Structure 1
């Protein structure tokens, strides 16, 4: 027992550490442990490990320390260490030990299967055996290739040890990563021979592998088996299956299954909805795609830009800009940030627009505004202005939204000119002139600016450094009984901050808060760049 007494002295500091056992994996015993009175032998190491079985971290540190001074662990010492770590469920340590054993098993290290068989015969509980196999396979997939891992796995099964479903899933996922779907299917079939019930993750791994290999029939067969076994997929399982069908261009089948899922009121991930919608739109089955969009909303899944964009693009391809505009407006009404999918190819959009005019179809201010907005966002302001002139020449009266689009377009062009190096005085002059010209036109048309329109005007004045005129516009908006929103206030606050007029910005912020208008993220972003940061903290408190 002299070695054990030496070890107890060496491990006093380790025992006093309050960290978890796994965190002590790399702890180093004291140098006193190296001063041994006699050479180590397997029996004495096993005896010491057995005495330390209730302190697995210390036992493992001792195990590693003896190895570091030249002791070669054999079957008996490895078995004892595996027994201790399995019983105490020290996963990190056990995976580390198995990784070393697996790496050296073809050299001078012990064979793995005899160790497993010994543990099978001597382990205290089935849970301990299952835990050991889990850790062994986890170590194998980091050290072995697929063939070697499968060979070891089969050897474990021949010993009468049945790995857990979790371990089978680990193996299936490892095989699937190689793209060998036949091996995945073979492992899945072998799993069923052991009377194990695959779980939802098993089916997700197997079907995904089959879909990647374009084996749709086999994937459907596995899905049918899952249903027969009474395994009910979760949202991720359903979504993975639908995405796989869409990847294989089985949009009709995906649509039918998604309808059945909707009837069962099972949630499905937004990506699965979008991929089925994309497939239906590619096949120009737009009525079904629209129904799917409605079902998605009824299921509580918020609309997003992708679903709408697929419909908008498809209707544009058909030349049905009216339907495209309807979905565009619906997208905007839901507060979705548009990225102009309808205007992604403005040349084609204009051709469709021209075709509608030639056929005598009704074109209203909304269609014109959509096209103008697309040109502005594409940096083609001149063509947007030409559309505006064409609209007015046809007797179509522009509304405040159409004017706001052009006002904003001129503002964005001014910012672009700044990036291109055009002098600030020149840019400010042009912006002021263009805005005044549009305002004069609005007055002639008897069109009153609304809050968004005033916000663009105020922002433009601030960017051009005409702060007095910006404040006059703000006051004019108030005098007309309009209530500025957070964007309007932020535009003027930003203008004051950019010119160093902090006190005026402070007053405006306080006015905003007093009126119950909550500053948004953009407001705080402006304030974070000025001395108003303390005011933000006070408001948040």
Structure 2
């Protein structure tokens, strides 16, 4: 490492230097220079391969140049890991005299005068500062595009951003074209480093050179959407799709990228549009395409679209992954298509894919709603064999299935089991939910067992679960049919609510308890609650005239 200050000159003799002490990965050097109008040159002869362990500092042969050059520059050389590539000369990209040989601002006359008059004083060359992004342009003695492209590729994969970009710019400056693979790797390297503007310049070069690929568009569109917006990415995509020259690069991978972009923002409308455009342009979706579509549509509640995407996937001979199948089971459960949900569930088991607890619960709930109680309990048994512990949702689905099948006694017994499990050693890790209590109280109402309903209600209060309006409505209706009038009054005292008073008055009228109904009606007016139309009509029929 060399250093120089403002008060001293640095004299470098360009002759063979043994570099055995250096590693074969290149010299470590960086120039940090003050602003001036000259420019610096570092040249490596073609024979000095620093990657092979030997390096020579040489000056390109120019007329009347002395063997030793004195450089006066207010600069400091600092060590940094920037590889000096073989066969390269470094000079400023912004210098207006960038011609070869690299002594661009020295005319032949200048060289002759220097040779005749100032040979002993030696030339003074100042170093031009590098441009704002810190990359330099190199004079390349190597002109093989494939070799240079391979170097760009290796530097990009190693995340040596500045070196890779410098070599790329040097190739472009020398009218050499890097191949598409090298440019795509450079794009990835720049985007990983957050340099979208530089990546867009490389992208424009690839477009103009017609070495662009679908992978290129995928990289740029994803980065534009992330840094700017999905709308900006959409505008870029639409522009490329309208252009005949670039439309051919819009392959399935690019469409997948756009679908994924809209998936992040839950914009299912634009995602569907990309899907239709993919179909219209005779492209065939991949497993990734349909996985993205199905999961997005289900998440956004577009179950029919999710099912359409799933059917198209099967028609194309593709096998859905576990996340797509679980999403489809959820969609089927919401749409009441229990048979399809069961088939997909069986396909998962056949493929040795373990369904999640949420998927099992959704299937149990779907089967329960369809009255398929026996199958629902088979799935419940399978859940236990999969080492899943039933949660509150599982018990709700099973109790609801028994209620719909008018098996209210079984629902009560199952509730007792779930309650004991929740209050046992804590291994189940859940509390019986308000929904579960409501289901059981509802089952008691239908089964005409109001006393059991009251016991469940008392247990609910003891467990510090707050009953909601559905709990109390079901409880009042059950007590009225069981002629438990005092209990009805107590419930109304605890929760003065218009809906509860309306339900109680209407139930009493239907049970011919008009006196009790009149008292409640008057009480309702006194506390400022408004009767509904049905309550008023019943009171008009039963109140005395006048």
More helix by share: 1
TM-score norm. by structure 2 comes to 0.49
TM-score norm. by structure 1 comes to 0.49
More strand by share: 2
Q: Which structure has the larger Rg over C-alpha atoms? A: 2
Greater RCO between the two (CA within 8 Å, min separation 6)?
A: 2
